[in-house]
């Protein structure tokens, strides 16, 4: 099986990272350095990581290393969506819990459409408009607090 490959695509104030092949911590470090470079250059704070094409995942020690890596230099008010397959959801949930415990706003999803919508909802809060001055209502939920569960279609 070939090693992990990754593809970065900056678009719509978000850096999209797609990973495929066999999980590699070294390749993930390389991808993360590139993500940090793009975020810093563009002043963005949102990341979508899609690992649905990975054939293997991190072991427990690597999962903790991955949490440390993602925590490193993460934008203070940033958001990260992690898109996984069902069979990856247990590790994704653990990674989400680890990162949220240190203040990184990561949420795991099994749907890329829902992940993209979650990231887009956040972007409206950073662009000031007249609606920013209105109190939150049931029609305008405060998305600053996310759940700790995997979201499903």
Helices H / strands E in the chain, number of each: 4, 5
pLDDT digits (tens, 9 = 90+) for 118-133: 998 855 454 333 333 3
Looking at residue 2, its pLDDT comes to 64
Between CA 104 and CA 126 the distance in angstroms is 18
Looking at residue 73, its pLDDT comes to 80
pLDDT greater than 50 at residue 138: no
For residues 60 and 138, which has the higher predicted lDDT (pLDDT)? 60
Nearest Cα residue to 107 out of 49, 22, 31, 41: 49
Task: Return the CATH number of the domain spanning residue range 5-127.
Answer: 3.30.750.24
The answer to whether the beta carbons of residues 142 and 102 sit under 8 Å apart is no
The pLDDT confidence band at residue 81, using thresholds 50, 70 and 90, is very high
Please report, for the chain, the start and end positions of each structural domain, with discontinuous segments joined by +: 5-127
| pTM assigned to the model | 0.77
């Amino acid at each position: 099986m070939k090693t992990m490959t990754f593809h970065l695509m900056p678009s719509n104030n978000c850096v999209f990272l797609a990973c495929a092949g066999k999980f590699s911590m070294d390749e993930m470090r390389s991808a993360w350095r590139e993500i940090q470079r793009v975020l810093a250059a563009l002043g963005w704070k949102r990341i979508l990581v899609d690992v649905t094409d990975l054939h293997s995942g991190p072991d427990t020690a690597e999962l903790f290393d991955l949490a440390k890596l993602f925590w490193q230099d993460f934008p203070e008010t940033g958001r990260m969506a992690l898109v996984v397959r069902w069979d990856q959801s247990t590790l994704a949930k653990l990674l989400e819990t680890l990162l949220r415990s240190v203040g990184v706003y990561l949420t795991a999803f099994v749907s890329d459409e829902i992940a993209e919508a979650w990231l887009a909802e956040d972007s409206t809060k950073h662009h000031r408009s007249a609606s920013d001055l209105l109190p939150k209502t049931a029609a305008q939920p405060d998305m600053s607090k996310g759940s700790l569960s995997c979201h499903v279609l």
